[in-house]
Structure 1
Amino acid sequence: MRSAISRFRNLLAGAAALIGSLAAPPLLAEDTLSLGLGQAREMAVQALKAGDPGLAIALARGLIKADPQDFVAHYVLASAEAGLNRPDASRKAAAQAFKYADTPTARFRSAQLAARMAYAQDRYSLSQLWLRRAAIHAPDDGAEDAVARDYRLLRRINPWSVRLQVDVRPSSNVNKGADSALQIIDGVPVTGYLGGSAQALSGLITSVDLYSAYRIDSTDRSSTSVLGRVYMQRVALSAEAKDQAPDASGSDFGTTFAEAGLRHIWQTGPRGAASAAVTLGEAWAAGERSFRFARLNADHGWNLGRGHRVELSALTESRYMARYATNDARVWGLGASWTKRLTNGDRLDVTLAWRDTDAQHPNGTYTSASLRTEYELGRPVGPVTLSGAVILGYTDYPDFVSGGFIQVPGGRQDESIYGEINMMFQDVDFAGFVPMLRLRAGEKDSNDSRYSMKEFTLSVGFRSKF
């Protein structure tokens, strides 16, 4: 075989030109060699195996000239260019091989090669994209696990990170409306009835949450990143809701939120890390700006060993240029969380949150507290990974005016309880993304029945496995 390759090296120019014209009748001369496409393809593969990338490239290019959709030729060309440390040319050839591959295994290998070459060029985001493509065609669990490991490594290396979450959820209460047409304050009925749009309206909620960060500086113990986030929620009312509130539109309940800022993370010890962030942003509701804000938040977490982790957080936020005085406010917040990883792989999370908001209008001034307890099973139940949570909440408005003119004696107090079940279908995988189903139900009880409500929501979204 090596003697044949040596002979081809001597006749390289003639062979490459001849392969390019293989569609025409073969021509035989003393200084050229006639080959069929299959023979030329085999010779290109053998040249690659024998460590002669130059000959493999010439033969592959001749084959591509004869048949631009020849997968083997594109893959040989990509591999040979990689052997010559030309990652850009190799990646482009691997992309062509992926395009013309006719089996999942061929697509998997082509995508992996393209990912490696993008990594060699320090194009980490492009490498991650090719790994996602490789995951689609992974031939077995072992190959998919290898892709996941490579992707996690790239996530640590890549200075740019992007997280996109899309949810679609039918809801019995898209507007957080009351569950009764009667308004009762501290057990006393108020004259009149609530309008249709003030009561619970059913419909479909679609939300898109896009977060991105770029690391601008890093050391062994710290990193600094610029960040941005855009969240949009849109509502489509059901036919029943349109009948109940004919003057209401789904756009009345749409919201948009955008922010940009700077975050610094640093290690505080062998088991601790802290972060601080400053952000500026704006919020919209019903197509109009609600307020602008500036926020400063900080947190500190400790890994205590034996599966325990504790985190403390604090924030302050100033809201200004508000459309309504209820949103012209200063917000203070504290939080604490405890996480325990159990010996069987299950996880328990307990989170406490406290907020104090002081607004220019009494209806925007309140204090709230919440407790969330979540339990996640470490092992799947069949094809599903399960977790569940219970959320308790309490909010006190010390001085509240209901309906614009009714002073609520002693202020308004809300108590809420919600439960949710999250189901992740690990075996239904596309490019490393799996579907997630969330069932959420609960109610809020207020001494002003205008704000008492019940809600049931079923949401469908996708989450990355790695």
Structure 2
Amino acid sequence: MRRSLAAAFTLAMLVAPPLAAAEPIPEQHLSLEQGRLLAVHSLGTGKPELTLDLTRALLRADRRDHLAWYLRAAAQARLKTPGAGRRSAARAYRFSPDSAGKFRAAQLAARLSVQDERPTLAQIWLRRTAIHAPDDVSEKRIAADYKILRRINPWSFQLRGELKPSNNVNNGADSTLEVIDGVPTLGRFGPRSVALEGTVGVLDMSLSRRLHESRYSLTTLSLRGYVQRVALSSDAKAKAATLAQQSRTSVPRNSEFGSTYAELNLTHAFAIGAPERKSSAAIGISFGSAWYGGDKSYDLIKLTARRSWQLSARTGLTVHGMAEQRLDPRGPSQDGEVFGLGARVNRKLQNGDQIDVSVALRDIRSGHVNTSNRTATLRLGYQFAKPLGPAKVSTGLILGRSDYPQFIAGFPARHLPDGREDTSLYADVNLFFEDYDYAGFAPTLRLRAGKKDSNHSRFQSRELSLSLGIQSKF
């Protein structure tokens, strides 16, 4: 026996003109199926008010009727009440039993969020539609809509996460024996100075707000938080305990290797010359604080500048510089001024692959000789346009050279005659599995290997790590 609506529909009053007062009005009871069909018909024939009445009765009979909630949301959209419609669409999404229903409801909720001038909510609903997208065409349409919303929305949020097992989570030395310029000393390193294996977790978040935008300029205020935490493996804890006993020091804890950085940044970017030249520049000022091992290291104020040129249809050049003043340092080793200069050339090849070459120079002038240094870094990158199997692939090779004109080390401590010199070589392979996404977020995998050589054995190290992260597709 078919269920009937909890409240009877007076069909003559709903769809027919009023009759004479003396005539009796026949009351007709509709089944749920008939009520749904009538609601669909009334919406299709331009009677959203009637649709609301019908869905109200349907929901009295069953509060989890996803079709009734969807029809109610569509009717509210017709009646220019997007806020109420979005809430109805959210319930339709919640109660829909299959992906097709959830996709349809999420799409409607996204459109109503735009009408309600809630672009951030619209972006959230678009990501939900990506979970239930039926095909590649729908996914491409979602990505295109998301890019439009990103331009509309003055707020922007970015999130990057990474989990990295590594054989050197603390950037420690390969050996416990101190060797300077090839000559062993009497010194031995404690548990905090040698390489320890474990897992590194990273969470990098940023929230931005466009303060002003025109055709030729953009001013943005952003807040960034970077958190890195370390978990030592059981073998590393056993090794650290043995070294601590030998050196008569305490056993290191995981929290001692964690770092945190927070920054508030104001940036003004502007076009230079004709728009078709795609030439631009930007200036910025940042205020930040850095912590290591749970203790505050220093505050900072930083000025940045960038200039970009589009040299040809496939080649671009960017030059950037920075000057940083560290304030209120915890100690002389955290004090100082930092100056940087860099350049990057990227070229897109005819087959769609991309080559990146970048160089960076940095000069740190610290209150302690052991942290005053000059560094040069060269990075070569290659990104393949076509995926390799299920993954998009990019690679990188990094060469680095650091020079410390003066350095105090050894047992007993003394100035190294030629200072300290480090040379590093690292390579990485990055895989992006965009077909295995959830709500537009897909996994990444990075393999990194390399070594650093130094005339002081404390700074000779090797690293082999495998990172698992997440990245947005759009």
TM-score (norm 1): 0.93
Deviation of residue 33 (structure 1)?
2.3
Tell me if the contact between 2:12 and 2:26 (Cα under 8 Å) persists in the aligned partners. Answer: no
* Partner AA of 1:99 in structure 2: R
The answer to whether the 8 Å contact 1:11/1:31 transfers is no
How far apart in 1 are the matches of 2:10 and 2:87?
26
Residue 447 of structure 1, aligned match among 455, 459, 462: 455
**Structure 2 CA distance for aligned equivalents of residues 261 and 423 of structure 1:** 30
How many angstroms does 1:102 deviate by?
A: 0.9
- Structure-2 residue corresponding to 1:356: 363
In 2, are the aligned partners of 1:11 and 1:32 still within 8 Å (CA)?
no
Alignment of 1:364-383 (within 5 A): 364-383=371-390
User: CA–CA distance in 2 between the matches of 1:8 and 1:278?
Assistant: 68
Return the offset for 1:13: 9.8
Q: 2 CA distance for matches of 1:84 and 1:307?
A: 49
Q: Which residue of 2 aligns with 1:19?
A: none
User: Who is 2:419 aligned against?
Assistant: 411
Task: For residue 192 of structure 1, report the CA deviation from its aligned partner.
Answer: 2.9
- Between the aligned partners of 2:215 and 2:159, the Cα distance in structure 1 is 28
Q: Is 1:265 aligned to residue 269 of structure 2? A: yes
> CA-to-partner distance for each residue in 1:413-450, whole Å, 9 max, x for gaps?
00000000001112111000100000001000001111
Distance of 2:319 and 2:180 partners within structure 1 = 37
Structure 2 residue matching 1:245: 3-state secondary structure: helix
Give the 3 Å change call, closer, same or farther, for CA 9–226 of structure 1 in structure 2.
farther
CA distance in 2, matches of 1:147, 1:156: 14
Structure-2 separation of matches of 1:149 and 1:61:
36
Query: What does residue 401 of structure 1 align with?
Result: 408
CA contact (8 A) 1:397 1:411 kept: yes
- How far apart are residue 78 of structure 1 and its match? 0.6
Q: Which residue of 2 aligns with 1:142?
A: 137
Aligned to 1:224: 219
2-structure distance, mates of 1:261, 1:379: 36
Aligned length: 446
The farther-off stretch of 400-409 and 226-235 is 400-409
Q: Equivalent residue for 1:131?
A: 126
Note the alpha carbon deviations across 1:388-430, whole angstroms, 9 max, x for none. Answer: 1000000000001125823111100000000000011121110
For the residues of structure 1 that align with 2:158 and 2:375, how far apart are their CA atoms?
29
Unmatched segments (≥5 aa) in structure 2? 1-8, 17-23, 242-250
Q: Which amino acid aligns with 1:309?
A: G
Distance 2:431 2:414 in 1: 44
User: For residue 437 of structure 2, what is the aligned residue in structure 1?
Assistant: 429
Letter in 2 for 1:50: T
One-letter code of the match for 1:213?
S
Q: Percent identity?
A: 42
3-state SS of 1:259 partner: strand
Return the alpha-carbon distance in structure 2 between the equivalents of residues 8 and 30 of structure 1. 8
Matched, 1:391 2:398: yes
Partner of 2:297: 290
Cα pair 2:12 2:25 within 8 Å, conserved: no
Tell me which of 145, 152, 158 is aligned to 2:147.
152
Structure-1 separation of matches of 2:409 and 2:279 = 47
Match of 1:12, SS state, is helix
Q: Is contact 2:11-2:28 (8 Å) kept?
A: no
Give distance in 2, aligned partners of 1:306 and 1:273.
16
> Secondary structure at the residue paired with 1:264?
strand
Equivalent position to 1:194, from 185, 189, 193: 189
Give runs of ≥4 in structure 1 deviating > 6 Å.
none
- Please give the residue correspondences for 1:28-427 in structure 2 after superposition, counting only pairs within 5 Å: 30-246=25-241, 247-269=251-273, 270=275, 271-403=278-410, 405-427=413-435
SS in 2 for 1:85: coil
- 1:304 deviates by 2.2
- What whole-Å deviation, never above 9, does each CA across 1:29-48 have from its counterpart, x for those lacking one? 83432211100100100111
Structure 1 portions without partners, runs of 5+: 1-6, 15-28
Q: Distance in 1 between matches of 2:465 and 2:320?
A: 29
